[in-house]
Structure 1
Amino acid sequence: MNWPTLLCRLALGLALLAGLATVSKASMAAPLRLMVAGIDKQIYLPAVLAERLGYFAAQGLQVELLSESSGVHAEDQLLTGAVQGVVGFYDHTIALQAKGKFVQAVVQLGQAPGEALLVAAARAEGLRSLSALEGRTLGVTGLGASTQGLTQYLAAQQGLKPAALHFVAVGSGDSFATALQQGRIDAGTTSEPTVTRLLRSGQAQLLADLRTPAATRQLLGGPYPGASLYVSTRWAAGHADELQRVVNALVQALRYIAGHSAGQIADQLPPEYLQGDRAAYVAALQASLPMFTPDGVMPAGGPETVLRVMQATQRGLQGRVIDLERTYTDAFARAAR
């Protein structure tokens, strides 16, 4: 073999190796994108812990957690293909099926909403019951969000129709607290750690509590699964192995929560998640720990409760036949066990 031929083959081989390296780097540079409907909310804690404790990485995954203020906005990101999955409320799978769009919860993180309806302290005198919400301005994370649907249902149990309530989108965390403090809303539904922070500071009073399974059953008449990871059924069909590894990591995070104290869990989080009051954060988490599922499996009777609650207030679901078996699967969570 002459030198020109040898050099040519050597150059070709190097080019092929460089091309393979480029492809490998490109694939590594394209992480799995999950949208969280408020990444600093305690209800979505398993996703944050899976990242912080290295569980995604241990599964050979590069996961990018993004954040949106409400589940409605997160849902939109999934439908446009901007993200591969949403860490949000299970009830979105039902609402989307009613619109002909099929998504499926593949691991259930919460067995209660983890939300509470608060009244501004300055308005508390005239708002001591759910029936007094008529004509009031109520804050929710986003219009059409789970917080709005739950608030409507609680009010409907007191005979109030959706038209009797005025909702405004105020987000969560600091934006919710500011809206309450400034009097832009009379009451509103939000999650921890904001609930405990406002109650402890005396800026709000509790009107309805959906933070634990026991409290939820009392108000909603059954288990109401909240936080989950849901994906489009079409994407899941083509990415079963990758999806299983994501669920593995999230179930491992649920096990970590079940086996550690609220203080130990808080130690794993960025300081900003504690909202400047570690004691309040830990107290809120300790009281809310029962809301997390131990294994990622859908609570028995949960989908039926969610559908009943939604059909009571959402016109788009009234009279519609929903195939609940297509809204979730326990196959991945059970395999993770």
Structure 2
Amino acid sequence: MRKSVLLALAVLMLFGMALAQQRRVVLAVGGKTAVVYLPLTVVERLGYFQQEGLEVVIQDLQAGSRALAALNGGSADVVMGFYDHTIQMQAQGRDITAFVEVGRYPGVVLGVRADLAERVQGIAELKGMKVGVTAPGSSTNFYLNHWLIKAGLRPSEVAVIGVGTGAQAVAAVERRQIDAIVNVDPAITLLQRRNLIKVLADTRTAQGARAVFGGEYPAAVLYTTRGWLERNPETAQKLVNAMVRGLRWMQGKSPEEIARVLPEEYFLGDRELYLQVLRNSAEMFSRTGRFSDSAPLRPLTVLSGFDEAVARSQIDLKKTYTNAFVDRVPKP
């Protein structure tokens, strides 16, 4: 009996040690079901974080600005969000660094309500209208500002309303709470299928991104404070290992294969529609997780057009991202 008790205690101690060795990371994301952040769910569902010895606690805050606020406030260690925020934060004196690229195109779409399509033939005709974004201050808001300025309008000439992502964003259009929307899939494809919007600008593909930005535009990334990276290099490496492994897994997979690893609620009640979403988004994701040296100039140009703090600052882009961790990921 004594031997059995001692053996049981030993097993419990080993189990406890294994749990203690798991590294806990609180990761905030601005709308987990948004397709732009799809690799995060793929990595989570395939167990790659656990296989790296990580306990990743994902906080879904439904908007990039809220995820950034969680990082700045200390309630999150890392954010899955858009790269633009690293530039914006440097202009405000905060040292935020992206350390793996997930999306090479933003996947953001601007659409006007279908019943207003005849009246709104172009972006300039949005003047005075209510435009839904995921949340004020989020990257969808940045792109709206960029499109308005290119069309000769000031951002203040439209009313910006936060509508979240997914079903919440679709409902805002259906109930005519907004006149136009800047959002991401699956909401956009669902709105298109129901003939509820007319698309005015689209960055889900290479062609669309070139038309809007002139080429690749780093979008979804993992970012954190430089201080956290310096204190936790091994944990950061494990996060990057898992994310790059997920990006590699997605390459060459059919929409059906990817859909099989996702939760049912991601499909918004229409699996076939979601498969179409995945087809529309195939070009969006990075293949390697690595940042190019030239693409970060495009977000800087976009932000400088409407953010006075960015325009006034001498932004050091080399401090807004690093490839050091991606370059150390084991080869497949």
The one of 221, 224, 234 aligned to 2:217? 224
How far the C-alpha of 1:158 sits from its partner, in A, is: 1.2
* Match of residue 87 from structure 2: 94
Number of equivalenced pairs: 324
CA distance in 1, matches of 2:60, 2:156: 31
CA distance in 2, matches of 1:329, 1:313: 26
Aligned partner of 1:135: which letter? G
Structure 1 residues 18, 258: CA separation in 2 closer, same or farther (over 3 Å shift)? Answer: closer
CA distance in 2, matches of 1:28, 1:65: 19
5+ unaligned residues in a row in structure 1: which ranges? 1-16
The one of 237, 248, 257 aligned to 2:241? 248
CA distance in 2, matches of 1:27, 1:291: 37
* Match of residue 68 from structure 1: 61
What whole-Å deviation, never above 9, does each CA across 1:79-131 have from its counterpart, x for those lacking one? 12211100000011011111111111000000010110111112212112111
How far the C-alpha of 1:221 sits from its partner, in A, is: 2.0
* Match of residue 208 from structure 1: 201
CA contact (8 A) 1:140 1:170 kept: yes
How far the C-alpha of 1:259 sits from its partner, in A, is: 2.6
How large is the Cα RMSD of the aligned pairs? 2.1
CA distance in 2, matches of 1:25, 1:120: 54
Aligned partner of 1:124: which letter? A
How far the C-alpha of 1:214 sits from its partner, in A, is: 2.2
CA contact (8 A) 1:111 1:299 kept: no
Q: Does 1:45 align with 2:35?
A: no
The one of 96, 103, 107 aligned to 2:100? 107
Write out aligned runs for 1:1-337 (5 A): 24=17, 27=20, 31-336=24-329, 337=331
How high is the sequence identity, in percent, across the aligned residues? 35
Tell which deviates more after alignment, 89-98 or 313-322. 313-322
Aligned partner of 1:253: which letter? G
- Which of the pair has more CA radius of gyration? 1
CA distance in 1, matches of 2:22, 2:216: 40
How far the C-alpha of 1:18 sits from its partner, in A, is: 12
CA distance in 2, matches of 1:305, 1:26: 43
- Please list every run of at least 4 consecutive aligned residues from structure 1 whose deviation after the TM superposition is greater than 6 angstroms: 17-23
What whole-Å deviation, never above 9, does each CA across 1:251-305 have from its counterpart, x for those lacking one? 0110111131111101110000111111111111112111101010013421100
CA distance in 2, matches of 1:73, 1:247: 23
CA distance in 2, matches of 1:219, 1:200: 23
CA contact (8 A) 1:28 1:62 kept: no
CA contact (8 A) 1:104 1:230 kept: yes
CA distance in 2, matches of 1:99, 1:20: 47
CA contact (8 A) 1:31 1:64 kept: yes
Aligned partner of 1:184: which letter? Q
The structure richer in helix per residue is 1
- TM-score norm. by structure 2 comes to 0.92
